[in-house]
C-alpha cells in the first residue's frame, strides 16, 4: 500500500511555518485509489504567513482565519489517526522527505503527538522527486523532464514535469490536486521504468538499504544538486555507531591505499572536504542506489580495469578496522552545538521519557481546565513549553492571570520581533507584500492588498 500526501503551508520554513491543508490518497500496490482524506485548519496566532506562499496557494486572510475551520490542534490528531488507520504503507510525497514530512513532524511535535509515524510500525517513507531523479538518469527515455526558465537547466517542479508528461491541466498548488498529479507521475514511472520503480520502492525501507549496501560489493550511487546529476561507483566502508541510519561509502575512483591507515581525526577531514572520497548516506532518506552496470561509462571508476576495481573493493571490504574508524569519524564529524533557544529547533534533541508520555496522554484526555496542571508536571522543558502554548492558544481563559499575561507578551514578541529571528514577522511580511506589489497586478494584487490589511491589523 502507498499513501501519497501533500501539504499547503504558510511558508517554506520547516521549523517555523505551519500546515494549513493536508491531503492524502491511499492506493494499493498497483496505484489504484482505495481511499482519500483531506483537512484544513486555521492559522495559528503566532504564525505570520509568507506573502509568496499565500500567492502560490491562493489563500486569503479570510480563509486562514475562518472560525468554521478546525484549529491546528484539532486537525493534527485527525491526520495522525488517518495515517495510523492506513498503516502499514509507504508514505510518499513530492520533495516530501526534506519538506512536507518535516512540517508534519513539527505539527505532531508541537501538539504533543508521536513524530515518526511514517517510518515506524512497518511504515516506510519515499519521495517521488527522488524516484523521478532515478528514472530520468538511468532510463531517460521513460520520462520527459522539461527545461527550466532562465537557462537554469531542467525543471523538476511537480507542475512542470506533470505537464511535460501529458497530465491534464488543472489546479496545482492545492494539496489534493498535487497528490493526484503525483500519483499520475508514479503510474507513469511504474509503467515506463518498472526497474526504477521497484528499486526505489525498496530504497524506502532503511533496513533494505543497509542490507543492500553491506551485502552488494559494488553499487552506483546518484544524487542531484540544483537539478544536476552526479554519479559514483561506491562500496560500503563504515556506519555511524550512534546513528544507525548513517552509513559511509567509498568512491572507487580514488585509490583506498591513501586512506586505509588514516586516524579518525584525518578521516573527519576527508569527510568534510571536496572532492568527496568518502560519502555519507542517509539510509532512511531513499538514496538512489542502482546496479553498478547501469553507471555511465564516463564516471571515474568505470575507466579502471575490472581487476583494479575489484582490488579496491576487496581491500576496503576486508579492512574492518578502517570501517570502524570511518564510523567513528561519522559520529565525531560535527561538534556538539548549544541547544537552540527556540523549542521548534529542538525537535530531535531527545526522546520523551516514559513518565512524560503518560503525562501527555492524560493532558490530551482531560478537560482544558485541568491541562495547565498536567503541563506543569512534564519534566522535558520542550514539552512543558509546548503544552503551555497549546493551552494558551486553545483556551487562554483557563490560565492563571499571571501566566496568561506572560503568554500575551510571548505572542506579541513573536509576531512583532524587530531583531533577526528565523521566522516570518509582521515587519518582514509587510516588506514582502510591498516588494511583490511592485510586479503583481489583477487577482494577485488584490490578494496581496487583503494580506496587507490583515498584517496591519495585527
Q: Which three cell numbers stand for residue 386?
A: 509546548
CATH 3.30.1520.20 maps onto the chain at 203-331
Give me the count of residues in the chain. Answer: 458
- Range list for CATH 3.30.420.10 in the chain: 2-195
Which residues, other chains included, contact 159 with Cβ-Cβ below 8 Å and sequence gap of 6+? 172, 173, 181
Alpha-carbon distance of 324 to 77, in angstroms, equals: 42
Residue 301 scores a pLDDT above 90:
no
For range 163-170, the mean pLDDT: 87
Cross-strand bridge partners of residue 248:
238, 280
Q: What are phi and psi of 406, to 5 degrees?
A: -60, -45
pLDDT in tens, 242-281: 998 999 999 999 999 999 999 999 999 999 998 999 999 9
pLDDT tens readout for residues 310-365: 999 999 999 999 999 999 999 988 888 889 999 999 999 999 999 999 999 999 99
CA distance 29 to 186: 11
Name the pTM for this structure: 0.93
Question: In CATH, which of 2.40.50.100, 3.90.1510.10, 1.20.1050.10, 3.30.1520.20 is domain 203-331?
Answer: 3.30.1520.20
Average pLDDT of the residues of the chain:
93
Count of Cβ atoms closer than 10 Å to residue 215 Cβ: 8
Distance of CA 152 to the CA centre of its chain: 24
Question: Which residue, 418, 357, 366, is CA-closest to 391?
Answer: 366
CATH topology of domain 2-195: Nucleotidyltransferase; domain 5 (3.30.420)
Closest CA to 394 of 102, 42, 22: 42
Amino acid at each position: 500500500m502507498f499513501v501519497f500526501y501533500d501539504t499547503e503551508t504558510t511558508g517554506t520554513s520547516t521549523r517555523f511555518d505551519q500546515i494549513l491543508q493536508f491531503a492524502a490518497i491511499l492506493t494499493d500496490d498497483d496505484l489504484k485509489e482505495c481511499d482519500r482524506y483531506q483537512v484544513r485548519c486555521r492559522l495559528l496566532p503566532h504564525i505570520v504567513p509568507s506573502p509568496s506562499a499565500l500567492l502560490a496557494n491562493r489563500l486569503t486572510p479570510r480563509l486562514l482565519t475562518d472560525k468554521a475551520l478546525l484549529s491546528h490542534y484539532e486537525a493534527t490528531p485527525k491526520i495522525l489517526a488517518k495515517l495510523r488507520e492506513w498503516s502499514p504503507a509507504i508514505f510518499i510525497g513530492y520533495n516530501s522527505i526534506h519538506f512536507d514530512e518535516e512540517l508534519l513532524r513539527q505539527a505532531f511535535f508541537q501538539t504533543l503527538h508521536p513524530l515518526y509515524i511514517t517510518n515506524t510500525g512497518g511504515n516506510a517513507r519515499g519521495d517521488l522527486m527522488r524516484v523521478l531523479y532515478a528514472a530520468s538518469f538511468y532510463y531517460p527515455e521513460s520520462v520527459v523532464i522539461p527545461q527550466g526558465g532562465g537557462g537554469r537547466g531542467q525543471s523538476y517542479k511537480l507542475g512542470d514535469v506533470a505537464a511535460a508528461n501529458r497530465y491534464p491541466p488543472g489546479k496545482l498548488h492545492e494539496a489534493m490536486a498535487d497528490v493526484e498529479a503525483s500519483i499520475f507521475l508514479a503510474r507513469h514511472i511504474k509503467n515506463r521504468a518498472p526497474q526504477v520503480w521497484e528499486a526505489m520502492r525498496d530504497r524506502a525501507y532503511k533496513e533494505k538499504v543497509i542490507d543492500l549496501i553491506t551485502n552488494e560489493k559494488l553499487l552506483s550511487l546518484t544524487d542531484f544538486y540544483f537539478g544536476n546529476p552526479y554519479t559514483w561507483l561506491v562500496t560500503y566502508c563504515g556506519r555511524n555507531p550512534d546513528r544507525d541510519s548513517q552509513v559511509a561509502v567509498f568512491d572507487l575512483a580514488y585509490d583506498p591505499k591513501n586512506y586505509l591507515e588514516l586516524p579518525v581525526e584525518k578521516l573527519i577531514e576527508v569527510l568534510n572536504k571536496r572532492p568527496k572520497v568518502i560519502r555519507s548516506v542517509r539510509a532512511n532518506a531513499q538514496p538512489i542506489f542502482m546496479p553498478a552496470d547501469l553507471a555511465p561509462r564516463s564516471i571515474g571508476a568505470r575507466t579502471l580495469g575490472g581487476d583494479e576495481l575489484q582490488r579496491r573493493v576487496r581491500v576496503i571490504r576486508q579492512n574492518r578496522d578502517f570501517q570502524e574508524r570511518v564510523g567513528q569519524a561519522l559520529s565525531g564529524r560535527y561538534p556538539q552545538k548549544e541547544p537552540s533557544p527556540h523549542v521548534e529547533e529542538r525537535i530531535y534533541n531527545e526522546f520523551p521519557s516514559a513518565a512524560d508520555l503518560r503525562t501527555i496522554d492524560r493532558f490530551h484526555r482531560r478537560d482544558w481546565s485541568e491541562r495547565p496542571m498536567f503541563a506543569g508536571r512534564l519534566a522535558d522543558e520542550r514539552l512543558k513549553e509546548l503544552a503551555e502554548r497549546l493551552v494558551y492558544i486553545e483556551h487562554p481563559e483557563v490560565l492563571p492571570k499571571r501566566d496568561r499575561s506572560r503568554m500575551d507578551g510571548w505572542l506579541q514578541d513573536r509576531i512583532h520581533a524587530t531583531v533577526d529571528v528565523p521566522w516570518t514577522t509582521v515587519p518582514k511580511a509587510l516588506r514582502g507584500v510591498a516588494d511583490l506589489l511592485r510586479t503583481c497586478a489583477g487577482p494577485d494584487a488584490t490578494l496581496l492588498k487583503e494580506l496587507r490589511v490583515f498584517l496591519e491589523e495585527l
